[in-house]
Amino acid sequence: MARWLAGRLLQALITAALAVVLMFFLVRAAPGDPLARLSEDRQLSPEAAAVLRARYGLDQPAGRQFRSFATGLVRGDLGTSIEYGRPVTELLRERLPGSVLLGGTVLLLTFGLGSWLGALQAVRRGAMDRLASAVALTLYATPSFWLALVLAWLVGIEWRLLPAAGMRDPLLPADAGALERLADLLRHLVLPSVTLAAVNLAATMRYQRAAMLEVLQQPWIATARARGLGDGAVHWRHAFRNALFPVVTLFGLWLPLLVAGSVFVEKIFAWPGLGALAADAVGSRDYPVLMGASLLVTALVVLGSLLADVAYAVLDPRVRRP
Amino acid sequence: MRRTRLALVTLALPALAFPLAGRATAQGSIVVVTGEHAAAPVPTVGEGTTANADVADQLFLRLAVPSPGRAAAGDRGFTPQLARSWSRRDSVTLVFDLDRRARWHDGVPVTSRDVVFTFGRALDPALAPVHAGLLAQVASVQAEGAHRVVFRFKRPYADQLFDATYFVSPIPAHLLDTLRPADLQRSAFVRAPVGNGPFRWVRSVPGEFIELAAVRNHFLGRPGVSRLVFRTATDADARINLMLSGEGDALIGAIPPLANRDRLLATGEIRLVTTPSNSIGYLLFNQRAPGDSTRPHPILGDVRVRRAIVAALDREAMVRSVFGPYAEVPYGPASGMLWISALAPDPAPRDLAAARRLLADAGWRDADGDGILDRDGRPLALSINVPATSAARRQMAVQAQEQLRQAGIRLEVLVLERPVWQERHVGGNFDIGFGSATQDATPAGLTQSWSCAGGSNVAHYCNPIVDSLMRRAQLSFGDVSPLWREVLDRVEADAPAAFLFAPVTVVAVHRRFERSAVLAGAPWLMLHSWRVRRGAELPRDRAAR
């Protein structure tokens, strides 16, 4: 197992390194002036532009820029944002909690609720199954940005039940207690997480339903029933656990959602996450931020894939065989 | 920071003097909804972004500010802030006496050392390239005692007081002069600035908001509210939603689209305040061949074609369809905030017949009957670069396409990502660039775009007579109105651009505020004078810190 794991780790590191190198050069090959954002209100003079290009190393050949990026990376320094004028590591650190909170909640809802509903569909075939499928597929077909706009309008503006945007109320009294702050955070979390979870739920449900149906047809399920086990025990203690394999793989693939989130949903709900930061960085060609965010997503993609493999290997020893 | 952020002109507003000194209580909060988080709201550090300047305006006082309702021209039209008074020693020397009551938020007095330290940074191109360019005429800034500062300029010109006071607000030397200059940007000070303005720093929650608190014993008077929050939403829909849901109190830039006006007013909680803007939008005609500035543009190098395009456009209709009543068609490159815009006559209306005549004079005929003019077998076809970030400009570009087609001109609309648009614009790689500018508060700033050697003159417009007129207008301390009027006339005649729109700034403000003054060019500069009407307070107003 240890040797297998070491091999997978090495493979993951090589993949991540290749992705980073590719991203670095592809981003710079794209047309566009990274100083555009700073010229939005006022055209920079050629002299000022030259100083700023030198400050951010943009006047250097791409090879030299990569060398300084790689050297910084080794030291844990991802450079300074062109747009914000602040260290990229600081910006990422500031945005990470928001992304993890939203992404984590969405993953929890998507996989917790999705797995349960999918399994429920499989064991209760008929009207309930058809209705759940129809609702889930309708939500799946709904663009997240549209759903976000509708929810913000209906719940946030028309009914004023929940905040229309943001992650916390800036006017919460200074002496507000921890519970009050937590409640405020949760109120802000509802609309973006429900939006994202709603459109993603169907995939988990479908996977789980199909896996559950397959497991329920296995001979050992019939054996369990013949031993006198009740429906509840057969379905949830035996079948459900064995039907989790495909969903584990799906979970690994969706792990990057933790940081990448959904750009549109983060934007519409003014959620301070990494997705919106990265999207803005693309729009303004803020190379350092773009590389920092990409690095994080790459690491999570590789980690997610690795974790899925490990989970599979733990659950099914046949995978580890050479 | 930006030359553009000047409070100026036209509004009949209360004086800039802080109005609430002596008022028994100041409570309530203002939530300003903005599109960008101020990452470095410190003068000479956060160059180039409006967000930084908006917050810095609340934290740091300038030496003086242009008075509302008066045109800042020469040495007239300014209200003291950090400087109690100023005088002129000679045509190149200004002397400022600082207000001895001024204190940093940590209690240390503001002195001439702070001013000298700050300008030392601002004049260094390596540290503050934008400021250094703006202050190119400042030769030196020296202290004479603890409360007197002497500015010397490289040559006599009318806007010396403006240059000395507007771009740079002093920062505290006693906290910063031990830092290596290049380290300031990454210092703890930038994350929690200590200023001398009407509001002090409380906290920043990156990507979400910045909270400031009123300085209750400020030497110019207590602000009208106790808390001020700049809340960030990078998406335009999210910003509107914050206003519509009652979570925001003030927002700039909601219009266009015009539909937002009705949505905001329908809440019954919001009113719209307008003030002249320093923005202007235009179709810039490249007078050199795209990508080769040594050759004239094969089509737009001919002034008759440029004039024909201007005549063929129905600018009034375009402006009304996009901005409604919130913009005018400018005469020449004068935004509504520039005092010279008052000198300008109405721009010429659409004249399709004149456009066709001009094109015919230039040798363009429809030889093949396809509706597009041609000359020597080459069609009269141009492209226009439009930044994708501006829906208004995209809409107007399509309208221009149709209007020019009626004159026999084919216009290809290229919608480009902002950085790509910028790269092509600065590199002169375009036929027509749909540009917009945020102008300087004084007409002297026009030289940057409309003089032969102007740093922002990417389309290579050059008329030595216009240059000479602008130079004379800048150097004169007398009435320069006739000179600027002639500048506008000559630029209009040369048609370096089709000047399309000069919008007003529309600010959505919650109705519970009274005295919600908004200044042209620096809309948030007077937030300290806003206050909540008695009896109209919301629960959150009572929960002030």
Express each pLDDT in A259-288 by its tens digit.
666 788 999 999 999 888 998 898 889 999
**Nearest in space to B305 (alpha carbons), one of B363, B258, B242, B226:** B363
Q: Is A177 within 8 Å of chain B by CB?
A: no
Strand boundaries in B113-269, DSSP class E: 138-143, 148-153, 199-205, 209-214, 227-232, 250-252
Sequence-distant (≥ 6) Cβ neighbours of residue A145 within 8 angstroms: A264, A265, A268
* Chain B, nearest residue to A158 by Cα: B245
**Nearest in space to B55 (alpha carbons), one of B241, B179, B172, B203:** B203
How many whole angstroms separate alpha carbon B284 and alpha carbon A43?
14
Residue B145 confidence (pLDDT) = 94
pLDDT (average), residues B136-154: 96
Whole-Å CA distances, B371 to A285, B361, B382, B410: 41, 18, 15, 9
Sequence-distant (≥ 6) Cβ neighbours of residue B147 within 8 angstroms: B97, B98, B100, B111, B112
Bond from prior residue into B503 cis (ω within 30 degrees of 0): no
How many whole angstroms separate alpha carbon A235 and alpha carbon B404?
71
Alpha helix positions (H), A125-272: 127-140, 144-151, 178-216, 219-226, 231-232, 240-242, 245-254, 257-260, 263-268
β-pairing, B432-438 vs B250-252, is unpaired
* Chain B, nearest residue to A268 by Cα: B238
pLDDT band of B265, cuts 50, 70, 90 = very high
pLDDT band of B72, cuts 50, 70, 90 = low
Which run of H or E residues covers position A290? helix A287-315
Residue scoring higher pLDDT (B182 or B404): B404
B108 and B172 Cβ atoms separated by less than 8 Å? yes
B532 and B19 Cβ atoms separated by less than 8 Å? no
B395 and A6 Cβ atoms separated by less than 8 Å? no
CB atoms within 10 A of CB A21: 13
Q: What's the complex ipTM?
A: 0.88
Q: Do A166 and B208 touch (CB under 8 A)?
A: yes
Of A160, A170, A269, the CB nearest to B238: A269
* Chain A, nearest residue to B280 by Cα: A41
β-pairing, B410-416 vs B381-387, is parallel
Q: Which of A35, A37, A39, A41 to mutate to test the interface with B (most CBs of B within 10 A)?
A: A41
pLDDT band of B82, cuts 50, 70, 90 = very high
Q: Do B39 and A85 touch (CB under 8 A)?
A: yes
**Nearest in space to A94 (alpha carbons), one of A289, A298, A257, A300:** A289
pLDDT band of B26, cuts 50, 70, 90 = low
How many whole angstroms separate alpha carbon B460 and alpha carbon A45?
15
Residue B73 confidence (pLDDT) = 63
pLDDT (average), residues B250-273: 94
Q: Do B418 and A37 touch (CB under 8 A)?
A: yes
Q: In chain A, which residues have pLDDT < 50?
A: none
Residue B19 confidence (pLDDT) = 46
Whole-Å CA distances, B158 to B84, B142, B361: 21, 21, 43
Q: Is A143 within 8 Å of chain B by CB?
A: no
SS3 call for B385 = strand
Q: Do A47 and B46 touch (CB under 8 A)?
A: no
Residue B68 confidence (pLDDT) = 66
The letter for the amino acid at A315 is L
Q: Do A39 and B48 touch (CB under 8 A)?
A: yes
Encoded tokens for A315: 């659950």
- Nearest CA of chain A to the CA of B533: how many Å? 19
How many whole angstroms separate alpha carbon A115 and alpha carbon A206?
9
SS3 call for B76 = strand
Encoded tokens for B492: 């209009």
pLDDT (average), residues B280-299: 94
How many whole angstroms separate alpha carbon A294 and alpha carbon A281?
11
How many whole angstroms separate alpha carbon A248 and alpha carbon B330?
63
B284 and B343 Cβ atoms separated by less than 8 Å? no
Whole-Å CA distances, B82 to B18, B299, B316: 13, 53, 44
Residue B543 confidence (pLDDT) = 62
Beta bridge mates, B232? B34
Encoded tokens for A66: 């990569």
Which run of H or E residues covers position B270? strand B270-276
Look at B216-225, B452-461, B512-521 and tell me which has the smallest mean pLDDT: B512-521
Q: Taking every pair of C-alpha atoms in chain B, what is the biggest distance, in angstroms?
A: 80
* Chain B, nearest residue to A279 by Cα: B234
- Nearest CA of chain A to the CA of B36: how many Å? 10
pLDDT (average), residues B75-79: 81
Residue scoring higher pLDDT (B20 or B227): B227
The letter for the amino acid at A54 is A
B286 and B297 Cβ atoms separated by less than 8 Å? yes
Q: Do A86 and B39 touch (CB under 8 A)?
A: yes
% of chain B beyond a pLDDT of 70: 93
Q: Is A225 within 8 Å of chain B by CB?
A: no
Residue A256 confidence (pLDDT) = 75
pLDDT band of B392, cuts 50, 70, 90 = very high
Q: Is A40 within 8 Å of chain B by CB?
A: yes
β-pairing, B148-153 vs B381-387, is unpaired
Beta bridge mates, B375? B378
Residue B404 pLDDT exceeds 50 = yes
pLDDT (average), residues B210-236: 94
Residue B112 confidence (pLDDT) = 97
Residue B530 confidence (pLDDT) = 93
Sequence-distant (≥ 6) Cβ neighbours of residue A142 within 8 angstroms: A198, A199
Work out the mean pLDDT of chain B and round it to a whole number: 90
How many whole angstroms separate alpha carbon B495 and alpha carbon B483?
18
How many whole angstroms separate alpha carbon B97 and alpha carbon B150?
9
Residues of B in contact with A58 (CB under 8 A): none
Express each pLDDT in B148-192 by its tens digit.
999 999 999 888 999 999 889 999 999 999 998 878 888 899 999
* Chain A, nearest residue to B245 by Cα: A157
- Nearest CA of chain A to the CA of B503: how many Å? 15
Straight-line distance from the first to the last Cα atom of chain B, in angstroms, rounded to the nearest whole number: 31
Residue B71 pLDDT exceeds 80 = no
For the entire predicted model, the pTM comes to 0.89
Which run of H or E residues covers position B487? helix B481-494
Residue B5 confidence (pLDDT) = 38
**Nearest in space to B407 (alpha carbons), one of B307, B495, B321:** B307
How many whole angstroms separate alpha carbon A99 and alpha carbon A92?
10
B283 and B500 Cβ atoms separated by less than 8 Å? yes
CB atoms within 10 A of CB A183: 13
Of A42, A80, A85, the CB nearest to B46: A85
Bond from prior residue into B257 cis (ω within 30 degrees of 0): yes
Q: Which of A28, A38, A43 to mutate to test the interface with B (most CBs of B within 10 A)?
A: A43
**Nearest in space to B526 (alpha carbons), one of B224, B264, B273, B311:** B224
Residue with tokens 């369990």: A224
Residues of B in contact with A265 (CB under 8 A): none
* Chain A, nearest residue to B202 by Cα: A174
Residue B445 pLDDT exceeds 90 = no
Q: Do A165 and B448 touch (CB under 8 A)?
A: no
Residue with tokens 């896996």: A211
B456 and A43 Cβ atoms separated by less than 8 Å? yes
Sequence-distant (≥ 6) Cβ neighbours of residue B89 within 8 angstroms: B95, B150
Distance of CA A279 to the CA centre of its chain: 14
Residues of A in contact with B459 (CB under 8 A): none
pLDDT (average), residues B379-383: 97
How many whole angstroms separate alpha carbon B47 and alpha carbon B41?
9
Express each pLDDT in B235-251 by its tens digit.
999 999 999 999 999 99
Phi/psi of residue B387, each to 5°?
-70, 130
Taking each helix axis from N to C terminus, what angle separates B236-244 and B259-266, rounded to the nearest 10 degrees? 20
How many whole angstroms separate alpha carbon B180 and alpha carbon B363?
63
pLDDT band of B17, cuts 50, 70, 90 = very low
Residue B181's Cβ-side half-sphere holds a number of Cα atoms within 13 Å equal to: 13
Encoded tokens for A6: 């070491």
How many whole angstroms separate alpha carbon B429 and alpha carbon A32?
13
Encoded tokens for B139: 């030769």
pLDDT band of B67, cuts 50, 70, 90 = confident
pLDDT band of B2, cuts 50, 70, 90 = very low
Q: Do B455 and A38 touch (CB under 8 A)?
A: no
Q: Which of B45, B426, B449 to mutate to test the interface with A (most CBs of A within 10 A)?
A: B426
Phi/psi of residue A164, each to 5°?
-80, -20
Residue B14 pLDDT exceeds 60 = no
Residue A292 confidence (pLDDT) = 93
pLDDT (average), residues B54-59: 95
Encoded tokens for B327: 């913009």
pLDDT band of B10, cuts 50, 70, 90 = very low
Express each pLDDT in B497-513 by its tens digit.
999 999 999 999 999 99
